[in-house]
Amino acid sequence: MRQAAGKIQILLIFSIVIGLLPQPVGAQVISGPVHPTNFQAVQHPAAESTSPQWARDFRRWNIVAFGTFPFSLLVSTIAMDTYRWSVHGNMGFDAYSRQFAPWPIRTAGAELMNNRQREMTFVYAASLSAALAFVDLFIVQSRRRAEQRRLEGLPAGNIIITIEPIGGEPEAGEAEPLGMEPDSPQPQLSEP
pLDDT given at position 188: 63
pLDDT given at position 39: 47
Rounded to 10 deg, the angle between the 53-89 and 2-19 helix axes is 150
Integer Cα distance of 136 and 141 in angstroms: 9
Per-domain residue ranges of the chain: 70-146
Dihedral sign from CA coordinates of 13, 19, 24, 30: negative
For the chain, give the DSSP string.
Answer: -HHHHHHHHHHHHHHHHHHTSPPPTT-----S---GGGTTT---TTTT--S-HHHHHHHHHHHHHHHHHHHHHHHHHHHHHHHHHHHHHTT--STTGGGSS-GGGPPTTPPPP-HHHHHHHHHHHHHHHHHHHHHHHHHHHHHHHHHHHHHHTSPSS--------TT-SPPTTPPPPTT-STTSPPPPPPP-
Q: CB–CB of 4/26 below 8 Å? A: no
- Residue ranges of the chain with per-residue pLDDT less than 70: 1-5, 11-12, 14-49, 168-192
Q: CB–CB of 81/107 below 8 Å? A: no
Nearest of 23, 64, 60, 29 to residue 44 by alpha carbon: 29
Q: What's this model's pTM, rounded to 2 decimal places?
A: 0.55
Q: What does pLDDT average to over the chain? A: 76
pLDDT given at position 38: 46
pLDDT given at position 99: 78
